[in-house]
Structure 1
Amino acid sequence: MGVSVSYSITLRGNNLAMRELRGNSEDSYKMLYSYLYMLEQVNFGRTTRVELDEAGKFKYLFIALGACIEGFKVMRKVILVDATFLKNGYGGVLVFAKAQDPNCHHYPLAFGVLDGENNASWTWFFEILTTVIPDSSEIVFMSDRNQSLITAVANVYPQSHHGHCIWHLAQNVRNHACNTIKAVVAWRFMELARYYTVHEFETAYASFKVRYPSAFKYVEENTNRETWVRVYFPGCRYNLDTSNSVESMNSAFRDARSMP
C-alpha cells in the first residue's frame, strides 16, 4: 500500500538526511579557521583572508594556493574572472580567478566567497588578489560586463587592461537584432571581434551595419571597441576572448555549491 506525503514533508526529510550526511552550514563556517590553518601547513606561500562584518559574522573569504601563485609567473598574463551563486541557506557567490597554461589547460589562481556581486565585495577581492599578483600593464582581465567588477578592476588594477567576453556580448547583440536569424547575428558579431587587421575589421563592420542596423546601433551605443575588438584591444590577450573556460569551473563546482 502506497504512502502519500506532501512536498514540504519530503523536503524536510531530504534536508535532514543531507544534514546528517554532510553536516550543516553553521558548523561548516565554525570550522573555517581550522581549515585555513591546515591549508597553511601544507601549502607554502598560500594567501588566505577572512573578512568579518560589524557584528563579527562571516562576510568574505579569499584563498590563493602558493603553488598557483608561483606558477602564474610563467603563464600568459590573462586572468579570467567569474562568479556563481552558492545554494546554501546563506547565499552569496563563489568567485573564480583563473588563467590558462601553455597547453590551454585550466589554471586556477584564486577562489573567493562574497556576499554578492557589488562594488564593495569585488573591490575587496581584487585588493587581496593584488597582494599576490601585482598591478601591471601586462595583466589582462577577461570577464562578462558586470559593472561592479569592471569598476573594481579599473580602481585596483589601473595599469591592467580589461576585455569583455565576446560570447556574452554576442548574446546581448543578438537580442537587439530584428527581422533576421538571431543566431547568425551573434556569429557574425563574434567574427568581427577576431579580425587581425583594421582594414578587415572596418570593412566587415560596415557590412554588419548595413545588414543588421538595430544590432549595430546597440553595439555603438553600449560598447567600446577597445574592450572587444582584437585589433583595437590595447593589451595582449593571446587566444582568450571569452570567459567560457571559467564557466567550465562553475560547472565542475555545480554540486558542491549546494553543500555546506
Structure 2
Amino acid sequence: METPPPKIIMDLVKTKLGVNISYSTALRGKNQVVTDLKGSPEESYKMLRCYLHMLEKVNHGTRSYVHCNENNKFMYLFIALGASIEGFKVMRKVITIDATFLKNGYKGVLVFALVQDPNCHHYPLAFGVLDGENDASWNWFLEMLKTVVGDSSEIVFMTDRNTSLITAIANVYPLAHHGFCIWHLSQNVKGYARNVNKDVVAWRFMECSRFYTVAEFNIAYASFTTRYPSAAKYLEESTQKERWARCVFPGDRYNLDTSNCVDSLNSVFKYARRYFLIPMLDAILKKIL
C-alpha cells in the first residue's frame, strides 16, 4: 500500500487536527512511515548478502552477485532465479535488455533482461541494480549474465542505442547478434525529418523495417529516402540496416523488434522503484514468483 503524497498529508492533517504543516514536514513524516514499515536504507544494504544467501537457499540454482567499490560501498547487483535459468532452455533466444531510473533517493538504475516463450509471453531472465548506464556497469552486468547464458551465434540482443550497452555487448558477447529497438530508433529518425508530419515519418520507418524480403524492403526504403531525405541521411550515418531491418538481420529475432516488453515491465514495478534495496527486491520477486 502506498503512502499518500506530501500535499495530501498536509490536507489530511489540516482536516483532522486543524493544524497547518509545511511540505517539508509532511515529506519527513511520509519518509519516516516508510522507514518504520520497510526499514532504513542503511539496514537494507547491510542485510543484502544475508538476503541473497537465503534467496539462493530457497530457490535452487539461483545466481546472485554483488559488487562493491574499494571503500566497500555497494555499486552493482545481479540476480537470476534458478527457475528462470532452467526455463531459458526452451525460450526464444532473443534477450531484451533495458534500464529504468530508481526513485529511492540513491539514484542508480533497475535493469531487466527478458525473453519470450513460444507463445509470446514475457519471461524474466535476470535483473539487477547498477549505479548508472556506463561502460563499467554494463560490462559487469553482461559478464554476470554470461555465467547464466553463454555466448553463442544463436543469441540475439534487442536494446535501445545506448552507447555503453552497445560496446558492452560487443565485448562480452562477440558471437551474438545485436538488433536495435525500432521504436526508439523511429523517435530519433522523426526528429531529423523536415517540413513533414514527423509521426508519419516514424510510422513509415517502422513499416520499412518489418518487410520480410529484400526486394520489398528495397522498394519501400527507396521511397522513404526520396520522400524524407534528411531522415534517411541520419539513418545511413548513424547505424547499419542489419541492425534494424528484418530482412537483412543476421539472427533469428522472431517477432521481437522493440524493447517495449521491458518498458511494460518497468511500469509494473513503478512503485517498487521508490523503495530501498531489500523492499524493492521483495516487491519484484513477489511479482516474478
TM band (smaller chain): over 0.9
Q: Does 1:152 align with 2:168?
A: yes
Counterpart residue number, 1:119: 135
Distance 1:4 1:182 in 2: 49
| Deviation digits for residues 132-170 of structure 1 (CA, Å, limit 9, x no counterpart) | 100000000000000000100000000000000000000
Structure 1 residues without counterparts, runs of 5 or longer: none
159, 174, 184: which one pairs with 1:168? 184
31, 35, 43: which one pairs with 1:19? 35
Q: Is the 8 A contact 1:25 1:88 kept in 2?
A: no
Counterpart residue number, 1:98: 114
Counterpart residue number, 2:282: none
What is the count of residue pairs matched by the alignment? Answer: 260
| Deviation digits for residues 57-95 of structure 1 (CA, Å, limit 9, x no counterpart) | 111111001111111111110000001111112211111
Counterpart residue number, 2:93: 77
SS in 2 for 1:180: coil
Distance 1:36 1:7 in 2: 37
SS in 1 for 2:61: coil
Structure 2 residues without counterparts, runs of 5 or longer: 1-13, 277-289
Distance 2:95 2:196 in 1: 35
Distance 1:179 1:91 in 2: 39
Counterpart residue number, 1:191: 207
Compute the displacement of 1:200 (Å). 0.7
Query: TM-score by structure 2 length?
Result: 0.88
Counterpart residue number, 2:103: 87
238, 246, 249: which one pairs with 2:262? 246
Compute the displacement of 1:45 (Å). 1.1
Distance 1:245 1:259 in 2: 23
Counterpart residue number, 1:52: 68
Q: Is the 8 A contact 1:25 1:89 kept in 2?
A: no
Once the two structures are aligned, what percentage of the paired residues are identical? 68
22, 34, 58: which one pairs with 1:42? 58
Q: Does 1:255 align with 2:271?
A: yes
188, 213, 229: which one pairs with 1:213? 229
Q: Which segments of structure 1 move beyond 6 Å, counting only runs of 4 or more?
A: none
Query: TM-score by structure 1 length?
Result: 0.97
Counterpart residue number, 1:178: 194
| Deviation digits for residues 197-244 of structure 1 (CA, Å, limit 9, x no counterpart) | 111111111111111111111111111111000111111100100000
Distance 1:15 1:196 in 2: 53
| Deviation digits for residues 86-121 of structure 1 (CA, Å, limit 9, x no counterpart) | 111221111100101111111011111111100001
Distance 1:13 1:131 in 2: 43
CA RMSD of superposed structures (Å): 1.1
